[in-house]
């Protein structure tokens, strides 16, 4: 008698996008162009965008991601082409590291000079918290994947302390 063993296979989760999966061909080494401040966002934050853009590229070969704070646990950013000065707005106005349900475990904006992958871990407009993976296509961030955000565990509530004084 021959016994057979059936093994249930579960589908493997597709691996998360990695910076190495989105290499860029060239890195701009020239003097950064002055930003062209065409959008409402760019004009409103012109000083920080000009200063950040002057530091040179830090993303996707010839772009500069300029980040500034917008309150407690909040960030805004713009992307500036170091070779032309074109300025691009992000897909959301601001991103926070929490919402009404608590703080996220992993947060931030992640990018590299040698890659067109951009990762935003947080809550755009203080909602829909997730890790979002984007690919830069030369004029905008294109969403390629969204993963559920892990949160810090909520602390156990302490029993109310009552002090009675005579």
Report how far residue 50's alpha carbon sits from residue 84's, in angstroms, rounded to the nearest whole number. 13
Per-residue pLDDT tens digits for 99-149: 777 778 878 999 999 999 999 999 998 889 999 999 999 999 999 999 988
Dist. CA 48–CA 152, nearest whole Å? 32
**pLDDT of 7 above 50:** no
The span from the CA of 40 to the CA of 45, in Å, is 9
Task: Using the predicted structure, report yes or no on whether residue 51 has a pLDDT greater than 60.
Answer: yes
pTM, entire model: 0.82
pLDDT band for position 154 (cuts 50, 70, 90): low
Per-residue pLDDT, averaged over 19-41, amounts to 97
CA distance 53 to 79: 9
Query: Residue 121 and residue 110: Cα distance in Å, rounded?
Result: 8
**DSSP letters along 70-120, please?**
-STTEEEEEEEETTT-BEE--SSS-EESEETTEEBSS-EEEE-TTB-EEEE
Per-residue pLDDT at 158: 64
């Amino acid at each position: 008698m021959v016994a057979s063993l059936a093994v249930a296979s579960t589908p493997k989760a597709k691996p998360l996008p990695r910076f190495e999966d989105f290499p860029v061909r060239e890195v701009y080494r020239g003097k950064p162009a002055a930003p062209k401040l065409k959008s409402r966002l760019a004009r409103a934050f012109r000083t920080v965008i000009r200063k950040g853009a002057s530091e040179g590229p830090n993303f996707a070969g010839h772009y500069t991601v300029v980040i500034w704070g917008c309150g407690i646990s909040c960030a805004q950013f713009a992307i500036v082409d170091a070779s032309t000065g074109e300025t691009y707005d992000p897909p959301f106005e601001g991103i926070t590291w929490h919402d009404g349900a608590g703080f996220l475990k992993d947060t931030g904006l992640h990018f590299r000079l040698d890659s067109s992958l951009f990762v935003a871990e947080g809550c755009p407009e203080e909602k829909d918290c997730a890790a979002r993976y984007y690919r830069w296509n030369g004029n905008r961030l294109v969403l390629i994947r969204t993963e559920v955000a892990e949160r810090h565990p909520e602390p156990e509530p302490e029993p109310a302390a009552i002090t009675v004084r005579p």
